Amino acid sequence: MPYQNSRISEVAELLKKRLEGLENKADILKAVELRALYSEITTLPAEERASFGLEINQLKSELEELVNSHEPDSAKLDHIDVTAPYDVNSPAGKRPQLLSSELGSRHPLMTEMDVILDIFYRMGFDAVESRQIDDDYHMFGSLNFPEDHPARDDYDTFMTEEGLIAPAHTSTMQNRVLKQFKDGLEKGQDIRVVIPGRVFRNEDLDATHEHTFYQLEGVYVGKGIHAGHLIATLKTFLETYYKQDLKVKTQPYYFPFTEPSFEFAISRPESLRKGDNRTEDDWLELLGCGMVHPNVLKEAGIDPEIYTGFAWGVGIDRLVLMKYGIEDIRHFESAKLEFLRQFK
Ligand code: DAH
């Protein structure tokens, strides 16, 4: 672009030459020479100032255009199919080979989940899967967590500014399943549902803590249901899963959504002590449980004067860890083939 003013032409030529050698092209827009031109305006006779200013702006636009023309132009790139099952976006001949499907196997957590669900099916429970994206109402409000209550801090997880939450427990589903099945109560059909699902927490990771893991929630509501039913149900399940008699105990705990709330522990038998050098019997806290809080029942439209129920939430990874004597929970999400192939 020709410039009337020789001073500006001079700077234009200088900067365009410099631009070629610049790694970060946008730096040219910050050149001292360009800034100097602006400060020269005030030294000029009044009648020359306007056209001089206009030409500096023209120069600046020209430089901006040159900078932009060096930006990678994404429109020029081939489209990428992000849904492709393998890298179809690489040129033919350079595509990675797929592992043949016979070499793959089910993830041990999914295999064990089926074993666990099967035990509960035989005990008369239905299964409903939890969601991997949920909201504040199902995560907290419907579960009797008051606004800003510190109990919320125990469930620190990932959330978007729009209020979507990666759920920190499967209890998010309690309100939904209670509503879904409550019509059966009047006909004498108890609500009995288990809820498998993937949950997420802001954790410091170590051999027993993962940010992503699986839980199995359970809810049972009917007439005359009490804590004895809760203990018997969990004991029966655990003895069936571990194929042996177990000593169990409950100790008091706090959850906003149950009253009373318990921690459920088993006395760890020899066979579940693999990979662990403790010898004496030790109590192992396995899960949280309790009698469903009247406010949780009310919130779902169930009269707590007529119906009572129990609920629990157990970490699946933890159950499987103990069953096989696996030393580190992080193996499950690691995608390490050496680990996974042992469960084929
Ligand atoms: N949601 C609790 C947790 O993840 C576990 C739990 C405790 C679930 C008590 C329940 C319950 O249903 O009644 O820490």
Pocket test of ligand 1: the residue of 201, 210, 219, 255 to mutate, having most ligand atoms within 8 Å of its CB, is: 255
User: What are the boundaries of each domain within the chain?
Assistant: 6-74, 106-343
pLDDT of residue 107: 95
Q: What is the pLDDT of residue 121?
A: 98
Choosing among 2.40.100.20, 3.40.640.10, 3.30.930.10, 3.30.1600.10, the CATH entry for 106-343 is 3.30.930.10
Nearest CA to ligand 1 atom 12: 312
pLDDT band of 105, cuts 50, 70, 90: confident
Question: What does the angle CA 116 – CA 120 – CA 123 come to, to the nearest 5 degrees?
Answer: 150
**340 vs 197, 219, 328, CA distance in Å?**
20, 32, 13
| Interval 153-196: pLDDT, tens | 889 999 999 989 999 999 999 999 999 999 999 999 999 999 99
Confidence of residue 215 (pLDDT cuts 50, 70, 90): very high
DSSP 100: P
> For residue 330, what are its two tokens?
């992080």
The C-alpha atoms of residue 235 and residue 245 are separated, in whole angstroms, by 9
Average pLDDT over residues 132-141: 96
Any atom of ligand 1 within 6 Å of the Cβ of 258: yes
DSSP codes, 192-235? EEEEEEEEE-----BTTB-SEEEEEEEEEEETT--HHHHHHHHH
Distance (Å, whole) CA 28 – CA 20? 10
- Does residue 49 or residue 276 have the better pLDDT? 49
Taking alpha carbons only, the member of 198, 192, 201, 186 closest to residue 220 is 192
The closest residue, in CA terms, to atom 5 on ligand 1 is: 313
Expressed in angstroms and rounded, the spacing between residue 258 Cα and the centre of ligand 1 is 8
Banded pLDDT at 2 (limits 50, 70, 90): confident
0.85 cut: is pTM over it? no
Give per-residue pLDDT as tens, 6-48.
899 999 999 999 998 888 888 899 999 998 998 899 899 999 8
What is the average pLDDT score of the chain? 90
For the chain, the residue count is 344
pLDDT of 102: 80
Strands 247-253 and 283-292: unpaired
- Is beta strand 191-200 parallel, antiparallel or unpaired with respect to 164-165? unpaired
Which tokens belong to 276? 């662990």
Question: Distance (Å, rounded) from C-alpha 8 to C-alpha 15?
Answer: 11
Instruction: Please give the pLDDT value at position 282.
Output: 81
* pLDDT value of residue 100: 79
Percentage of the chain exceeding pLDDT 70: 93
User: pLDDT tens-digit profile of 225-247?
Assistant: 999 999 999 999 999 999 999 99
Answer whether 313 contacts ligand 1 (Cβ < 6 A): yes
User: Measured between alpha carbons, how far is 315 from 214 in angstroms, rounded to an integer?
Assistant: 6
Whether 1 shows a pLDDT value over 80: the answer reads no
pLDDT of residue 21: 87
169 lines ligand 1 (CB under 6 A): yes
Q: What is the pLDDT of residue 94?
A: 74
pLDDT digits (tens, 9 = 90+) for 301-324: 999 999 999 999 999 999 999 899
pLDDT reported for residue 24:
84
Q: Is 311 in the pocket of ligand 1 (CB under 6 A)?
A: yes
Those residues with Cβ within 8 angstroms of residue 208's Cβ, 6 or more apart along the chain or in another chain:
318, 329
pLDDT attached to residue 28: 92
Taking the CA of residue 174 as reference, the ligand 1 atom at the shortest distance is 12
| 35-94 per-position pLDDT tens digit | 899 889 989 999 989 999 999 999 999 999 988 887 765 556 667 777 776 666 777 777
The answer, yes or no, to whether any atom of ligand 1 lies below 6 A from the CB of 196, is no
Tell me if the bond preceding 260 is cis, omega within 30° of 0: yes
* Closest residue to atom 2 of ligand 1, CA basis: 313
Phi/psi for 277 (5° steps) reads: -95, 10
Q: Between these two residues, 102 and 315, which has the higher pLDDT value?
A: 315
Most informative mutation of 134, 257, 297 for ligand 1 (most atoms within 8 A of CB): 257
